[in-house]
Chains A and B, each alone.
Chain A
Amino acid sequence: MSKVDRIIDHYSARVYKNRKLHIIEKTDDNHEIAANTRTIPGIMTNRGCCYAGCKGVVIGPIKDVAVITHGPIGCGFYSWGTRRNKARGDENTKNFVEYCLSTDMQEPDIVFGGEKKLRQAIKEVVEIFNPDAIMICSTCPVGLIGDDIHAVAAEAEKLYGRKVIAFSCEGYKGVSQSGGHHIANNGLIRHIIGTEERAPTKYSINMLGEYNIGGDAWEIERILKRIGYDLVANIPGDASIHDIAKAHIAHLNLVQCHRSINYVADMLKDKFGTSWLKVNFIGVSATIKSLRDMARFFDDPELYARTEQVIAEELAAIQEDMEYYKSKLKGKTAALFVGGSRSHHYQKLLKDFGMETIMAGYEFAHRDDYEGREVLPFIKEDADSKNIESIKVEKDERYRLYLTEEQYERLRKEIPLDYYAGMIREMEKGTIIVDDLNHYETEEMLKVLKPDIFFSGIKDKYIAQKAGTLSRQLHSYDYSGPYAGFNGAINFGRDVTMGITTPAWGLVKAPWKTQPILKGQLQEVV
């Protein structure tokens, strides 16, 4: 039986048929996988909902915006501080990331409508917090009872003289949190980006899809600033809405998490002409490649030189530690199951330490994240994806191209400009790729593949560890980090080494288990 069959053998015929399309073993030519389809009821998925993707992931990290969850209390509570994205406030920038604001709808609000309560809540938010902007995210019942949150937002925007933006991100929309990313992306383009101005400098760039989990964005920003880049906005980790509002002035957008932010990247290109570059700042070699690709885009001798100088200095600083951790980790095998890009990004970092990825999967990715963007025209739209609005933007009067057409065509052959090749292509033959790995499959996979370490999230971490496999969270980093860039690689190496060498693993077997229950002697019988 193949590895894949051993994992899903126990399913009923219908479920088996469905899941078989989502789990593949890589051969030379199969890149195709089913993704972004409905979760099977009763199968314990790790996926979240549309609200989680919109409020929890994309909107939540913007620090100077007060986000009101319009709905009953649960969703607001559960998304309160759970993503561990860090943000700093200072005298000029407010920081509401630590707050949970909710309209806490009660039964009468469901029956008679919640608009009045929402209106009042907005007034109170203005009075108490006086935020620069307000965002409203709706939960399941709101869409059903027909509250017009967009009308309330428009009215409040006039009344209070600041941006008030509504997101209809009811949990049941789409098939996973991915729908929520899209809705949030639409809002950023429609209401924020391009509404404030500043002059670009020589190397003005944006970082898109970096969430500053465990301080990743700060490590990346540190490196970019050393080289001399002008980071207009990091969207959305530790972002101020005023930075996001100016994002259109950049010459180039860097895309870290393709899945959650590609809509903004594409729309920025259509509306303002800004190209995007797929980067990966997870892993030393990946970081270096990304920095060189960026220099290639600007094609400036001074920038090339500065890039190489910074790379050399950063490498020199971490080399000793890298060697040490590599000596501990070389040859270990890993399985990864994370959101929609990390499972790909972290393979590079593991490789830096000589570790091998034997399984990788995404929770809520689409086929292009697995197979590359060339598959986009072939992805069939289904009822669920049609439910998420896809907006078409017009060219803005500020539209400008940084590269000539010739330069652009030439560069596209060298660097991933407006392109992402997907995860599968870079994986080894014989490895397993899983979409929407569920609880049941996690257990089976651990039994069949026996990885040394399972990188995943809090929900399946303890399944793995109860079964004797070390597990580390790649969503929240088990409250460690940063893992990005040069210094982050060392943190990661340290954390994994510490996990693998934890004394407890060596003490699993109790002494009486190794002692014989019966003792006997052989005697020669005459």
Chain B
Amino acid sequence: MRAKLKNLTVNPCKMCMPMGAVHAFYGIARCMTLLHGSQGCSTYIRRHMATHYNEPVDIASSALTEEGTVYGGEKNLIKGIRNLCQLYDPDVIGIATTCLSETIGEDIDRIIKNYRTQYPESRVTLIPVTTGGYMGTQYEGYYRTLYSIVKHVEMNPEKHNGINIITGMLSPSDVRALKDILALFPLEYILLPDASENLDGGYETEYRRLPEKGTTLAQIARMGGARLTIELSLFNTPEYSPGEYLKEKYGVPLVRLSPPVGLRDTDAFIKYLSENSGCSVPERLKHERSRYLDAMIDSHKFNAEGRAVIFGEPDFVYSMGRLCCENGLLPVVCATGTSSPKLKELLSLEVGKAANALVAEDFELLDETDFEQIEMLALKHRANLLIGSSDGRRIEEKQGIPLIRCAFPIHDRVGGQRVTTLGYTGSLNILDSFTNTLLHIKEGSYRKTLYQTYYRPVKEVKQQATEKHPCFSCSGARQYARIHLPVAPDCNIQCKYCVRKFDCPNESRPGVTTQVLSPQQALERFLEVKKKLGNLTVVGIAGPGDALADFEKTRETLRLIREHDPDITFCLSTNGLALPQYVDELVALGVTHVTITINAVDPEIASKIYSHVTMMGMRYSGMAGAAMLVSNQLTGLKLLASRGIVCKVNCVVLQGINDHHIETVVEKVKSLGASVTNIMQLIPVKGSAFEHMEMLSAKAINAIRKKCEAILPQMYHCKQCRADAVGLLGEDRSLEFNEAKENAKAPGEKQGLRFAIATKSGLIVDQHFGKVDEFLIYEYSEGRVSFIERRNIDQYCMGAGACDDQEDKMTRIFNALTDCEGVIALRIGVAPQRKLEERGIQAYTTYDRIEEAIKKIAREMMGEEAV
């Protein structure tokens, strides 16, 4: 699905460049930031930072208006610098551009020159940085700013014995932790930037309006003469690396290290400091290390149950990913909104190893992503822990996955400025919060889980299936997903409240479905959905007509699915007219749950609800038809119940017709063996005979349910699903799955370039060529990518008996791919690649969304410019 969604960002996992610029400037002493653009940029960023840091955050603006967009913003910018100097008397003013000033093409260097000419007496250092909001994220904005700082501050290149330490966007508390470590070594260092005090100050009786602490200009000026730079980021690009600049310009050697988070990266950092300073590792750090290690061992058994989703800036995601991995806590999804192929590359080794240790679990690494994608993958991989900023709270609320808030911004908790993850102690601190969150989940549920998993007397087996059935159990409704397969278009009765249309995806009620599937298509849909929804436990046939009106289709569908999945629970819903006829077959097919809609047990009342019924090719209306229906429903119910099938009876309340009759219905079906009733509201449908009937209020319905509860358990959580509903109750995802099919073409008629894709996820090219049992075949023509089919290579086996042979697997693959121009896989060996090429099939390796990959490659093949 994602492949088509690249134009719309749903809930962004990134911010804009000026946000990074402000953070970097906040670590410089006596520095104010001025955003050159409309005042909203400053206001929004101040708001976001103040909420996170609980500190005043002062960002000036040149407050451009419409006039500025026409005549340029020079006047405003100079006035802004002037006023800032007058009121705040800063040593430095950081001038960051915004979308607006970049789009109108402001020449900041020239404006600064003009300022200098107009105010030659002004001593303030001005540092411009290009940070148009569309040029990157806050991550790039931050490093670009640091780069500009070292570039614009006048350097004193005189050599000295100090070292430069350049960090990413750390929390003030982490900066303090870093300084604590550095203080233990006999090193003179210059830390850039240092916002540890400016963004986390104490209570003072008088507020100081200028951030006084942080890296001073004098310190920065000495960076050019240092004997070494350590840049604590692996993902900052060399283009905007302050360390690279100092190396190029002043010959200061550069070392890149990962931030000291987790055991291994802290070890590496400390080892480096120790060697560099010629001082053995201080006792205190040794103690801290052993304490962290001890804790890692103590909590390993809990961590091993963790399945984390980590999202945020590349450095953060990498550090947290490594910390999780070394604790046996598998990061099933690592995601950043920034573009960072390197992050994926480095993490795929790290997480891949951890996943292998846990018997080849799946995981995902994403960049340039949004929270919609993250949420989907979190569900797919059954994540139980979210790690990142408070922007993940919507997933936490919706999906019930707990969120550890430990990255900027945190808006719904306090203490964002005090989150500590650095060094042994910081790592231990954050690890404890992961472990305790996992324990919180465990303590709340393990007794029940143990009971349900290990203590199951024989008679409870069916009960279990019921508990996992969202429509039969309240607790099941929140955890287990179901799929309704729309294979039964025909109906044998006409209810006066029903008009069945097949093309109305907006509505959510029984009898409505986007498209009717053949049994074979239904099987494919099931397999596809099962891949994506790990919690799928139930397959239901709910129409759009009646599941038993054309029993052939229902039977064939259930048979096919059973072949592929021996454990799935089958259920179907019916009006009951044909039930007595098929009870035996249903039992034989393994149907365990049946829902019968019985709106009346009195033929006279029933005759007001149904216009006619069709039996054996004859149409009966009025009392005759109604009597026939009621008697078959009740007989069918009794037969099913006697065979041990769990029966639910749905009953639609129709004001003035059966609303006083409901209790009688419930009593009757109870006596025949029904185990639950679902009393439902009428959904008046345009065009039906009851179109204008008034709906009962939810309160009235609940009152009836309450009354009937004395007789039989009631279902309160019914959502009146569509006939092709997919997912948890109340969260229909059928659109998503319907869409995937829309583009499918008949496999036969080839119209463009064909590609065979090696994929596990079905979304991303993420499988090694050698591991493939099945390829997805796509076609590219005129800029469009469409899915053709799945091809299982076993089906292309030519000689019996020889199929285990590697050589033959290759042959089978070649046979399967004769009509393809290319193969796209995560990786491919040299030999197979050569062999493919001999047969005129090009092999490509990439890690990308399928449709993206195909587009890029197809364009390349056809010699088009990539757009």
Contact = CB atoms under 8 A, between A and B. Distances in A.
B5 A124 contact: yes
B52 to A, nearest CB: 10
Residue of B10, B50, B54 most packed against chain A (CB within 10 A): B10
B285 interface: no
Interface stretch (B198-206, B316-324, B594-602, B830-838): B198-206
Contacts of B133: 71-75
B15 A172 contact: no
Interface residues of B, number: 80
Contact of B79 (A41, A384, A466, A508): A41
Nearest to A122: B8
Interface string A140-153: 11011100000000
Interface string B679-717: 000000000000000000000000000000000000000
A72 B61 contact: no
Interface string A54-83: 000000000000001001111111111010
A77 B99 contact: no
Given A140-B99, A459-B47, A462-B55, A104 B40 contact: no
Interface string B110-151: 000000000000000000000011110100000000000000
Contacts of B735: 127-128, 130
Contacts of A82: 47-48
B68 interface: yes
B66 interface: yes
Contacts of A443: 207, 209
A172 B38 contact: yes
B19 A124 contact: no
A77 B15 contact: yes
B40 A458 contact: no
A2 interface: no
A115 to B, nearest CB: 11
Contact of A440 (B7, B42, B87): B87
Interface string B586-617: 00000000000000000000000000000000
Contacts of B315: none
Contacts of B57: 459
Nearest to B10: A101
A250 B18 CA distance: 46
Contacts of B100: 140-141, 144, 171-172
A106 B103 CA distance: 12
Contacts of B10: 99-101, 128
B739 interface: yes
Interface in B56-85: 56-69, 76-77, 79-84
Interface in B1-58: 4-5, 7-12, 14-19, 34, 37-48, 50-51, 54-58
A461 B50 contact: yes
B806 interface: no
A301 interface: no
B8 A124 contact: yes
B316 to A, nearest CB: 17
Nearest to A173: B66
Contact of B8 (A40, A42, A101, A387): A101
Interface in A173-219: 173-177
B665 to A, nearest CB: 24
Contacts of B54: 462
A42 B67 contact: no
Contacts of A43: 60, 83, 87
A230 interface: no
Interface string B204-216: 1111010000000
Interface stretch (A44-52, A231-239, A352-360, A515-523): A44-52
Interface residues of A, number: 84
B699 to A, nearest CB: 13
Contacts of B798: none
Contact of B99 (A15, A141, A462): A141
B134 A145 contact: no
Nearest to A43: B83
A102 interface: yes
B653 to A, nearest CB: 16
Most interface-central of B83, B102, B134 (chain A CB within 10 A): B134
A140 B98 contact: yes
A468 interface: yes
Contacts of A41: 60-63, 76-77, 79-80, 83
A11 interface: yes
Contact of B134 (A105, A171, A177): A105
A44 B201 contact: no
Interface string A101-138: 11111110110000001101101110110100000000
A120 B783 CA distance: 15
A46 B63 CA distance: 12
Nearest to B141: A74
B12 A45 contact: no
Nearest to B42: A44
B209 A440 contact: yes
B84 A42 contact: yes
A504 to B, nearest CB: 9
B268 interface: no
B101 to A, nearest CB: 9
Nearest to A51: B40
Contacts of B161: none
Contact of B39 (A15, A47, A103, A127): A47
Contacts of B61: 39, 41-42, 44-45
Contact of A130 (B8, B14, B81, B506): B506
Contacts of B37: 140, 171-172
Nearest to B133: A72
B115 to A, nearest CB: 12
B39 A466 contact: no
Contacts of A74: 15-19, 41, 44, 99, 133
Contacts of B69: 143-144, 172
Contacts of B79: 40-42
A77 B16 contact: yes
Nearest to B66: A387
B685 to A, nearest CB: 15
B466 to A, nearest CB: 26
A48 B58 contact: no
A467 interface: yes
B50 A458 contact: yes
B394 A98 contact: yes
Find the residue from A46, A77, A440, A460 having the highest chain B CB count within 10 A. A77
A490 to B, nearest CB: 25
A463 interface: yes
Given A41-B83, A172-B66, A175-B65, A49 B16 contact: no
Nearest to B19: A74
B356 interface: no
Contact of B7 (A98, A124, A145, A171): A124
B519 to A, nearest CB: 27
B103 A103 contact: no
A42 B82 contact: yes
Contacts of B76: 41
A117 B7 contact: yes
B39 A45 contact: yes
Nearest to A82: B47
A287 interface: no
A12 B83 contact: yes
Contacts of A457: 47
Given A44-B42, A49-B39, A120-B8, 17 more contacts: A10-B87, A48-B44, A49-B40, A74-B18, A74-B19, A75-B40, A98-B394, A101-B9, A103-B7, A105-B134, A140-B38, A144-B104, A171-B40, A172-B68, A459-B57, A462-B55, A467-B207
27 contacts: A40-B63, A41-B79, A42-B62, A42-B81, A71-B133, A74-B15, A74-B18, A74-B41, A77-B15, A79-B44, A99-B11, A103-B7, A118-B7, A124-B4, A128-B736, A140-B37, A140-B99, A141-B134, A172-B64, A172-B65, A383-B66, A439-B56, A459-B43, A459-B47, A461-B50, A462-B54, A508-B203
